[in-house]
Amino acid sequence: MPPFDSFSGRAGFHGRWRAGAALCLGLFLTWRAVAASVGLDVLPGEDEQGPVTVFYPSTDQATALRRGPFTLNVAWQGAPMPGNQRLVVISHGSGGSPWPQSDLAAALVQAGFVVAMPEHRGDNARDHRRVGPPSWKIRPLEVSEAIDRLGSAPRFAGLFDAQQVGVYGMSAGGLTALTLAGARWSPARFARHCDEHGEEDAVDCTGGMVHRDGWDGLKLALSRWYVDLRYGRDEDWQSHTDPRIVAVVAAVPMAAPIDLESIRQPALAHPPALGLIEARRDEWLVPRFHIDPVREACGTRCELLADLPDGGHGAVLSPWSDDIARREDRFLMDPPGFRRETEVPAVYARIVDFFQRHLLAP
């Protein structure tokens, strides 16, 4: 591109900008007129990397597809079509999979985004060997790897600009998102948190073992001992950022291990835009130990996208039946009074709007 001075004055520059903007808008409206379906495909795992599930705009017709307890309306391996040229990577929670995030992914695809969900190694629905700090350390790297893998996949490389990427993370994925936004944390801070607040934040510090089948006191004592023995002396700061990531949303994040000064003053020349989602009745990650300190430290740098007074830890996930939620994890069930049918679509709309404002801005 020639230097700015070679344009024929300010009017010439703005004329070219308006023409380019009109062309982009025209392409976007054409895409909307074609009315894309939600395509679904999976990049298989390679080397030590797990699979990456991809949701994207497709010209093929969507049909019902069952994945676990969820029924998706998608075009399986449908033909990709251009959307808005932006990618959002979603980092799932501990022991998670892509399917509880599929409704959010569909909302993003319907707005033109490509969505990638890497399976976090050793911390997913099939493999729990690295749950906790061992997974938290490598998750941000796996987000960067997912961007690289999509960028080198002929099927998807032309659908997005790899220099303008968004990240959404929920729960442990929320820690991933905050790390990519400039936060630093240490396993020892997590151990100290559980030593000081293990009873008040018991579900988090015991990995969900309390409040079922009794013996809570013993479970808390054993968890404190284990967490301190394994992580109490690991003071090394953990951080990883990626200049391609320019907008981040952290929903009900794990945040107790974070150095709050790194939220207040991130050591980045251009920190990503940061949005937060809080659920006040979250029993898994009690807000006053996790998202509330982040909100206070972040100040005006952060944008509060949603504050759900009756929302639980699973408020932003796709719904599943109560019997499945009880069997899998009762802490993901909706508390009484939570109006999922109206509140969750509004949250998704705010997430979509956040990424549109920060990823599509000229």
pLDDT at 327 (0 to 100): 57
Low-confidence ranges of the chain (pLDDT < 50): 1-34
pLDDT in tens, 316-357: 999 876 566 555 567 888 899 999 999 999 999 999 999 999
Q: What whole-number distance in Å separates Cα of residue 314 and Cα of residue 334? A: 7
Q: What whole-number distance in Å separates Cα of residue 87 and Cα of residue 63? A: 24
* DSSP strands (E only) in 189-236: none
Could you give the residue ranges of the DSSP H alpha helices within 63-132?
A: 102-110
pLDDT at 7 (0 to 100): 27
pLDDT at 331 (0 to 100): 82
Q: What whole-number distance in Å separates Cα of residue 272 and Cα of residue 250? A: 12
Buried b (16+ CB within 10 A) or exposed e, 178-217: bbbbbbbbbbbbbbbbbeebbeebbbbbbbbbbeeeeeee
pLDDT at 330 (0 to 100): 74
HSE-CB at 29 with a 13 A cutoff on CA atoms is 6
Beta bridge partners of 53: 42, 117
Query: Which residues fall within 8 angstroms of residue 49, CB to CB, at 6 or more apart?
Result: 118, 121, 142, 145, 149
pLDDT in tens, 89-139: 999 999 999 999 999 999 999 999 999 999 999 999 898 999 999 999 999
pLDDT at 36 (0 to 100): 81
Helix axes 340-359, 102-110, angle to 10 degrees: 50
